[in-house]
Amino acid sequence: MKAIFGIIFYLVVVSALNASAIIIPKTSLKPVIDGNLTDAVWEDSKKLELYNSSVGKLINKTEAFVAYDNQNLYLAFKCYESQMDKISKTWNHVEERDNGIWADDCVELFIDPLASKTESVYQFIINSSAVIFDSRHGEVNWDSDIEVSTMYYDKYWTVELSIPLLNFGFVPEGGEMWRMNFGRDEKPAKERSGLSATGRVDETGWYVNPVNFADFQFESKKEKVGISVESLAENGDSKVKLKLKNKKAKKASLEISLNVSSEGKNAYSDVQKIAVDPNSECTISIPYKYASDYYALDLKVSENDRKIYSNQFNIYALVSVSAGKGEASKVWHVTDPLYEELLSDEPLNLAKNGAIYWFVERDFTGMRQFAMQYGFRYSYDEAYQILAANDLLPIGNFHTFGATHYDSMTYDRKHGVKELYSPDWRWAPVPKVGLYPFLMDPVSKKTMMEDLRNALTKYHDVIWAVYIGDELYTYMANEGIDVFAQKKDEYPFIVEVDRQVKEQFGNGKYGIPSSKNGKDPLSWMAYRKWLNREMDKVQAEIYAAVKKDWPDITVISDDPIAAAQPYDFSRWKNNCDIITHQLYPGGSPQRVSFGYVTKLVKDISGTEEFWPCMHVEEYANSFNPQEVLDLISESFRNGATGIHYYLKDTIGVRNESKYMRTEFYGAPDRWQVEMAAIENCKTMRKLNFPEPDFAILFSCDSYSAMPPESRTENAESAYTVLGQRIGSWFKFINDYQIDRNEVDLNKFKAIYIPYARYEGASVVNKIKEYVLNGGTVISGDPEVFAFDTNGTDTSSVRNAIFGVKMVDSCKVKNIQYNGLSLPATGRAFNIETDRDSEVIAAFDNQKPAIVLHKFGKGKAYYFASNPFIYKLLGNKEWTIFFQDLQKKLGLQVDHKIWRFNLPQDLIKPMPQPAGKCLTNNHILWRQFAPLATCNLDTKGSYWYSTAPDEIADCNAEGKIVFENGKLTNRQKAPKAGNVDCGKSKLDDWVVKYTNEKPFEITFDFNDSCDLSRAVIFYSGQMPEVTASTSTDNKNWKVCDNLINKTSFTEDVFDVKLEQISKKARYLKLNFGSRDKGNSLTLAEIEVWTK
């Protein structure tokens, strides 16, 4: 099982190709990869057409072609385009690999060679300039050996590519099943298309959602006993599943050999012999183990020593085996942690009040449907009890506070729950395009303030804090652009905004960007500066109003999107009591993105209280408890002082199946750690942070110039290398602070500049003065200070400070430095140096790569290829280089603060139910995986004395086997669509009685056994229930214990009948009469033995 061995594998072998799969033809022809699709191979390939991911007919269709041979997978795309002159081409150089290629017109490939039906896939993105992005299981550091070319025509452009099959771990013998999705992002008409037409154009992760993948199967020879490897990791189960089909007229005697090895050592072996009857098929499953994250799985199928199928699959594990050993595979893990010795004597302040919480459980309609289908207990009142027990502070608004059906205030007051109130203004009478009107409009602000004052006046006793909003900056940035583009003729205010942007920040020329995908960097910089100022005013107005009349109420900032953004955080400190910000894991243990965003916001804001929204739930990935603890610790070691949780099952709701609503239900193992972290914070003391001896510049101007969302890879990479990897302690500063003289540069021994292509003259001059006066500046960005914010070329200042002149770009592989060969995977430049410059490292072509220039009393280091990129994270040579450089600069490394981790004993072992479930329908949920560890398959059945009259069972008049019955079919729920998502019907999962008369349900377990307890999940009124047992279905013994009658409820409860019988084959549950008008809905019944 997943929790024990890591990944679970399936191999399905059948004789005929999967009827629904797309067949990938095998070819003997090799295409010339030049973008010209006239090669004969494409005539013989499988031709596909992409569908609109929304609704309606595509303006610009896309044709895809696929084939393979013994070495490569071949793919081609013909992208029709009605506006060829408007194709987006932000990235144009091959050395810009792995940048934000998705911002351009591009095609995307998602390839799941294990047919795992998970999001652990190989991803490829190719834009029209043949610049690529490739990753494996989310790891951008991985590089494929893809060969690609593109070509432009009058009415379309093409992509032609080949990928070595060994990049995916094996060469198909024929018959293997893959799952893939092909997509196209067409920018001029804003069209998205893919292989499936079932997605939604606005759905996050539509391309990568496994629901939207198609089955592909490699063409194979036809055999009497054929082979089709349909999956190597379906749904993550750790077993090999073989389906064999014999088309011969006589029995086939087969031998199946499975061997798993790693680094030459055998980890698991098994041999199974099976006979398959003539013209029939059978299925066999073989569980196995693997011992490392890279391993070889050898599968052989033979008949009388004649090979039918043989292949070796070199597999990169979807789930690391180290995950179960406390060594997290998806996140940064501290191997030598410290805790108590890094704490000060001063306690954390506001954390004693609890944690911010998105209260998904308040949706009682959806929760009740979910609980019925999956056989869970759900009580609206108990949901509030859980809030109170864990000091969770739920977020609400006018609807959840005021709607009578929620009755939130009654439950809050009953259980002592305090809430956060988020003011609303969506009904403001101004033109809008999205859900929320433009908040900077005085009419919108007035509406919001009225809503806030009304709530604080009416509900003050249950409101702990005002929560300014969720992702307001992003929503308002988009709304301003949309409403200006679509409704400016009827909206004078947005026209005035455009005038202000131009006059105050846009040099009289650059106003609101033309679209959300507009490419004018000067417009983006101007618009975002205006937006920063005005949104800061909104926060300040809310803060002032609250503190004036309700000084005891805490004010919490807007909650920005997870990626670091060029916001003016230094102004937030005075406008709120707590700053929050979403944190999104980087998808690789090399990236420390939780820590990066935490330190960036904490340093620049200077706030005392930072409670980030830590996305540790089923959203970015599926983490184990150790990884959850590591991520939370990562944020605290960088300055977090409290916790904000959004614990909704985002992956499940996206798929609309196996949607477990929250961590509480789908990952109780994680929920335990998440709640323990809150409890720990209540008594935890503040960390003793060292004094920073250098700074890292976060260039808001440069990142503001990136549409539509900033990609701060260089700043994050500098943080990771200089901080978490080599242990230096620094402070993030930004250009807004420098411009306003809020930071004294002279207190820093050095300033690193990861990226600053655009920078205002005032900031550049102050950095120049800093160096002249004896400071040291290190620029990883070869194009540093290229332009002023008004578009003026300022490269002459770069030349003066760094002693270099950029000539042109070049393609290189390595930088040679003191015996180290440093990979140069970013964009590189040929440069000329002046006579005061010293070349301290060179490219392979002997041209300068790293230059030291003495400037005034100070020094300036310049990199001709940026070392601060994701690809180089974890590279040992670069780590050694920066350790050496830091020591030369007199900067301390190996600060102990980077070893901080929350106590390991916050992770507790999860209890398992005692005994075995005789009805074979218990599920133990761990990490959103359904584990059936406590079941016995008795092949039993049950029947009713009186059939349910409102919603019947599958065979109300006779015996119902456990596998099929609605009372015992919980194990089918995770594989079916969710009722609360409209993908299945509640009637498929429950039975219902409206007739109040008594009835009986009898269970037959096919053999006598000890019956320890029965558990009944129900809604409505449970009557008195007694139990009788028998060994022969004739002579019955009444049990002493009973279930008492309950009052009617619309929630879903469970009741237990304990200590039933020491020995019995049959169990009869006798349901008494109910009160008139009270129905009974039965969702699930479990019967257990000791």
CATH number, domain with residue 705: 3.40.50.880
Let me know whether 879 and 768 are in one domain: yes
279-298: average pLDDT = 76
What percentage of the chain reaches a pLDDT higher than 70? 93
Q: Is the pLDDT of residue 14 over 70?
A: no
Among the residue ranges 154-163, 175-184, 937-946, the one predicted with the least confidence is: 175-184
Let me know whether 973 and 884 are in one domain: no
- Within a domain: 278: yes
- Within a domain: 885: yes
Let me know whether 169 and 186 are in one domain: yes
CATH of the domain at 68: 2.60.40.1190
378-385: average pLDDT = 98
Residue whose pair of structure tokens reads 């500046």 in the numeric block: 777
The pLDDT value given to residue 279: 81
Nearest CA-CA partner of 1081 in 1058, 1056, 1055, 1050: 1050
Q: For 1032-1070, write each residue's pLDDT tens digit.
A: 999 999 999 899 999 999 999 999 999 888 899 999 999
Let me know whether 845 and 868 are in one domain: yes
Q: For 751-808, write each residue's pLDDT tens digit.
A: 999 999 999 999 999 999 999 999 999 999 999 999 999 999 999 999 999 999 999 9
Q: How many residues would you count in the chain? A: 1090
Let me know whether 210 and 238 are in one domain: no
Q: Which residues contact 837 (CB under 8 A, 6 or more apart)?
A: 802, 803, 804, 848, 851, 852, 853
**Considering 184, 218, 252, which residue would you say is the last residue of a domain?**
218
The pLDDT value given to residue 139: 78
Let me know whether 874 and 727 are in one domain: yes
171-178: average pLDDT = 88
**Cis link prior to 708 (omega < 30° from 0)?**
yes
Q: What are the tokens at 627? A: 């990884």
- Within a domain: 904: no
What is the maximum span of the chain, computed from C-alpha positions, in angstroms? Answer: 106
Residue 803, classified by CB atoms within 10 Å of its CB into exposed (0-12), middle (13-18) or buried (19+), is buried
The pLDDT value given to residue 5: 26
Let me know whether 776 and 798 are in one domain: yes
Q: For 391-428, write each residue's pLDDT tens digit.
A: 999 999 999 999 999 999 999 999 999 999 999 999 99
The pLDDT value given to residue 237: 63
The pLDDT value given to residue 511: 96
The residue among 227 and 183 whose pLDDT is bigger is 183
- Within a domain: 135: yes
The pLDDT value given to residue 7: 26
289-308: average pLDDT = 81
- Within a domain: 414: no
Alpha-carbon span 698 to 601, nearest angstrom: 11
Name the strand (E) or helix (H) holding 486: helix 472-487
**Considering 196, 218, 240, which residue would you say is the last residue of a domain?**
218
Nearest CA-CA partner of 1042 in 1063, 1061, 1027: 1027
Let me know whether 948 and 810 are in one domain: no
Residue type, 421: Y
Residue whose pair of structure tokens reads 């009040």 in the numeric block: 353
Residue whose pair of structure tokens reads 């050993």 in the numeric block: 325
- Within a domain: 379: no
Alpha-carbon span 411 to 393, nearest angstrom: 13
CATH of the domain at 262: 2.60.40.10
The residue among 490 and 562 whose pLDDT is bigger is 490
Residue ranges of E strands in 780-879: 804-810, 814-817, 820-823, 828-833, 837-843, 848-855, 858-863
Tell me the whole-structure pTM to 2 decimals.
Answer: 0.81
Let me know whether 245 and 214 are in one domain: no
**Considering 861, 894, 927, which residue would you say is the last residue of a domain?**
894
Q: For 1006-1041, write each residue's pLDDT tens digit.
A: 999 999 999 999 999 999 999 999 999 999 999 998
Alpha-carbon span 832 to 488, nearest angstrom: 49
**Angle (CA) 1032 1037 1042, round 5°:** 130
The pLDDT value given to residue 200: 44
Let me know whether 960 and 845 are in one domain: no
The pLDDT value given to residue 10: 29
User: Average pLDDT of the chain?
Assistant: 90
- Within a domain: 265: yes
Q: What are the tokens at 573? A: 């400190």
Q: For 706-725, write each residue's pLDDT tens digit.
A: 866 668 999 999 999 999 99
Report the 10 Å Cβ neighbour count for 728: 26
Q: Which residues contact 639 (CB under 8 A, 6 or more apart)?
A: 598, 599, 602, 603, 610, 689
CATH of the domain at 1020: 2.60.120.260
Q: Is the pLDDT of residue 677 over 90?
A: yes
Q: Is the pLDDT of residue 9 over 50?
A: no
Residue type, 656: E
Q: Are 191 and 59 in contact (CB under 8 A)?
A: yes
176: confidence class by pLDDT, cuts 50, 70, 90: confident
Residue ranges of E strands in 69-117: 72-80, 106-112
Q: Distance between alpha carbon 750 and the CA centroid of its chain, in Å?
A: 36
In the chain, how many domains are there? Answer: 4
Residue type, 1087: V
The pLDDT value given to residue 321: 47
Q: Is the pLDDT of residue 164 over 70?
A: yes
Q: Is the pLDDT of residue 988 over 50?
A: yes
Residue 667, classified by CB atoms within 10 Å of its CB into exposed (0-12), middle (13-18) or buried (19+), is buried
Q: Is the pLDDT of residue 519 over 70?
A: yes
DSSP state of 662: B
Residue type, 75: L
Q: Is the pLDDT of residue 235 over 70?
A: no
The residue among 302 and 663 whose pLDDT is bigger is 663
489-496: average pLDDT = 97
DSSP state of 264: T
Nearest CA-CA partner of 313 in 407, 140, 172, 110: 172
Q: What is the CA radius of gyration of the chain?
A: 32
Residue type, 348: L
Label the pairing between strands 837-843 and 343-347: unpaired
Q: Is the pLDDT of residue 55 over 70?
A: no
Let me know whether 52 and 201 are in one domain: yes
Is the alpha carbon torsion for 817, 819, 825, 831 positive or negative?
positive
Let me know whether 987 and 866 are in one domain: no
Alpha-carbon span 434 to 638, nearest angstrom: 36
Alpha-carbon span 375 to 360, nearest angstrom: 18
Residue 941, beta-bridge partner list = 961, 1004
836-842: average pLDDT = 95
Name the strand (E) or helix (H) holding 731: strand 730-734
Residue ranges of E strands in 128-276: 132-136, 147-152, 156-164, 177-186, 191-194, 214-218, 225-226, 239-246, 252-262, 265-276
Q: Is the pLDDT of residue 681 over 60?
A: yes
Residue whose pair of structure tokens reads 């070819």 in the numeric block: 27
Buried-exposed string 466-495: b where 16+ CB fall within 10 A, e elsewhere: bbbbbebbbbbbbbbbbbbbeebeebebbe
Residue 900, beta-bridge partner list = 338
Domain that holds residue 140: 21-218
Q: For 628-651, write each residue's pLDDT tens digit.
A: 999 999 999 999 999 999 999 988
Residue type, 530: W
830-847: average pLDDT = 94
The pLDDT value given to residue 224: 53
The pLDDT value given to residue 13: 33
- Within a domain: 353: no
Q: What are the tokens at 960? A: 């119902």
Q: Is the pLDDT of residue 230 over 60?
A: yes
